[in-house]
Amino acid sequence: MDSSGQRQETFAVTTPLYYVNDLPHVGSAYPTIAADILARFERMRGKSVLFITGTDEHGQKIQRAAESKHKSPQVYSDEISSSFVSLWQQLNIQYDRFSRTTASNHEKIVKEFFERVWQKGDIYKSQQKGWYCVACEEFKEERELLSDFFCSIHTNKQAEWRDEENYFFRLSNYQNRLEEFYQQHPHFIAPQSRRNEVLSFVAQGLQDFSISRVNLDWGFPVPIDSSHTLYVWFDALLGYITALLEPDDAPTLENALAKWWPVNLHLIGKDILRFHAIYWPAMLMSAELELPKLVFGHGFLTKDNQKMGKSLGNTLDPVALVAEYGADAVRYYFIKAIDFGKDGDFSKTRFIETLNADLAGNLGNLLNRTSKMALKYSYTNVPNLTIDTIADDNPLKIAGMTLGEEVAAAYENLAFSQACELILNLARTGNKYIDDQKPWTLYKEGKIQELEQVLYAVLESVRLAAYLLSPIIPNIANDIYQQLGFVTNFNDKNDIFATVPFAIHARWGLISCQQQLGAPHPVFQSLELH
């Protein structure tokens, strides 16, 4: 409930539950940053938000990885899972729930879900023959493999031939229902390119898929046959539902689904699109549960226009990147420099150039030069003006009046790069406005009223830019707000919701003479390429 007694609108977002076969890499950090930005943005708008991330810890790939390190799968999973928690802290990721598929309450949810699908008659036993990619944890059709049966995703891994008895899920039963659902919900899969991929795959005809494995210890036993272990994807997708349980809830589907289901957004990499946009909806239909509202498949990252990989020796360590440049810099680059949904590239040169141009040279410079002028002209507080005393043809007022709505629409559409560009345009307009108005000349000529209008309009524009960028660069936004005399903390969930409501702070014209200006200092130091 909010202060007026109304039930708050809810917003639930999930990242993938990351596979613990190896330490987190920048490809895991990327969607987690995006999910954190969305969660912060929706909290600012007064919604009740649940942000879920976590780790997927069962399956043959984990068992083999643990064996190669001479560790038990549980010890190995604990270590890798904790490295994700550590990286999320370093990246200033404010998740609400961290879901682990080895949790005991998760097994109970999986059993109950399995029972529903079993009672529906959608699970049966049969022989499985085919090519299996352990890295994907997936049987592959021959058309999906490269020459010599190498995986098209893990191009250095050869698929293994399997001939074994498995339990199957009747995916073929849901071909028509899925196609009808996609038609009735054209925005269920985004961006459009991913939707087209799914429609094309489904149109070729869906085959039942195996949901159990034999000769595998690491995972939950099939509830009706303990000689089989549940397939990792059948178990992992349900981790999203387990995460919805309140800490004291009994682990039942009814409790898990009570408040937050269906989730608003599953944010995933395009390599796991099929599981989330085909298998998962069909499983939910079988269990007679609602489907999520949106599955968004983001693109892949490359480094210097090459695919990243240990074998190529060109991996990008997110821990080292954050340690050297700070969380805000890393968050900003991946969100601004890459059109979310498309493939994107990291190069050190572009990283430095983007941050220096946007955060140091544009936004940071605008605040610094204006604050120093205010101090030089003896303004310890913001000039005593209001939005009504600024002329309607003022370029900053014109640009600022609709900016909040435009940026909100961009965030909603996951057009993060566009949101940044809209906000940075306001700062560019501010720098040009100062150059055009020449406040130093106004001061010399005794045109104090005109001078104050310039200072007010620019300081207010810097504030608005900082507020709208705060989901992306919360630490820099804090610094800007504090230099403008506000007492707020964009890293405190309660503070943002209680004292910085979007409807007020996303409007141009909020700053007032009550704001005592802080000591001017750069909010982002220019970086050197080395």
* Integer Cα distance of 384 and 162 in angstroms: 77
Three-state secondary structure call for residue 186: coil
Distances (CA, A) of 390 to 383, 396, 424, 512, 519: 12, 10, 21, 13, 25
Q: What is the pLDDT of residues 464-519, one digit of tens each?
A: 999 999 999 999 999 999 999 998 899 998 887 667 789 889 999 999 999 999 99
What's the whole-model pTM score?
0.93
Three-state secondary structure call for residue 31: helix
On the 0-12 / 13-18 / 19+ scale of CB atoms within 10 A, 95 is: buried
Q: What is the pLDDT of residues 186-205, one digit of tens each?
A: 999 999 999 999 999 999 99
Would you place residue 134 in the very low, low, confident or very high pLDDT band (cuts 50, 70, 90)? confident
Q: What token pair was written down for 307?
A: 């695919």
* Integer Cα distance of 281 and 338 in angstroms: 29
Amino acid at 443: Y
Distances (CA, A) of 460 to 381, 388, 395, 474, 509: 13, 13, 13, 18, 6
Q: What is the pLDDT of residues 34-63, one digit of tens each?
A: 999 999 999 999 999 999 999 999 988 899
Which of 120, 108, 136, 122 lies closest to 211 in space, CA to CA?
122
User: Whose structure tokens read 């140091």?
Assistant: 360
**Residue by residue, what is the 3-state secondary structure of 219-288?**
CCEECCEEEEEECHHHHHHCHHHHCCCCCCCCCCHHHHHCCCCCCCEEEEEHHHHHHHHHHHHHHHHHCC
Report pLDDT for 40. Answer: 96
Three-state secondary structure call for residue 152: coil
Q: What is the pLDDT of residues 77-126, one digit of tens each?
A: 999 999 999 999 999 999 999 999 999 999 999 999 999 999 999 999 99
Q: What is the CATH number of domain 347-505?
A: 1.10.730.10
* Integer Cα distance of 98 and 132 in angstroms: 30
User: Whose structure tokens read 């708050």?
Assistant: 8
Strands 138-140 and 189-190: unpaired
* Integer Cα distance of 370 and 386 in angstroms: 18
* Integer Cα distance of 461 and 427 in angstroms: 7
